[in-house]
Amino acid sequence: MPRNPRARFYIQLVQKDRLSLETLRSFLEDASISCGPLHNPSVRVDPDYWRFYVRSNSHERFVRTVGSWHPRKRRQIEARLGGERPACLVS
């Protein structure tokens, strides 16, 4: 997610473990959360760096279903939902 709250919103998931990301991407797709392709943006810089993004038409579904426990990202999500806390974050 972008640090600047005025920047275009995006959700990108990144890891060195390709298999973990493949599993996560599959889980999200099964939950009707549309994702972009899993790819390595620069094999020369880091051949073990993998990422995919959540498509914009699934942002709201992602934040309501998955959310984030990260303090900054959690505040961003709540702000974008008009102060509402996603069900996954309600204690």
pLDDT digits (tens, 9 = 90+) for 67-87: 888 888 888 877 777 666 655
Q: What is the end-to-end Cα distance of the chain in Å, rounded?
A: 23
The residues that bridge with 51 in the sheet, in sequence order, are 14, 39
pLDDT at residue 74, rounded to an integer: 84
User: Residues 8-59: pLDDT tens digits?
Assistant: 888 999 999 999 999 999 999 999 999 999 999 888 889 999 999 999 999 8
Nearest to 10 by CA among 35, 31, 29, 32: 35
Structural domain that includes position 64: 11-89
Q: What is the pTM of this model?
A: 0.79
- Model confidence band, residue 90 (pLDDT cutoffs 50, 70, 90): very low
Contacts for 3 with CB less than 8 Å, ≥ 6 apart: 72
Q: Domain holding 32: CATH number?
A: 3.10.28.10
Whether residue 4 is contained in a domain is answered as no
Site of tokens 């995919």 = 52
- Number of domains, the chain: 1
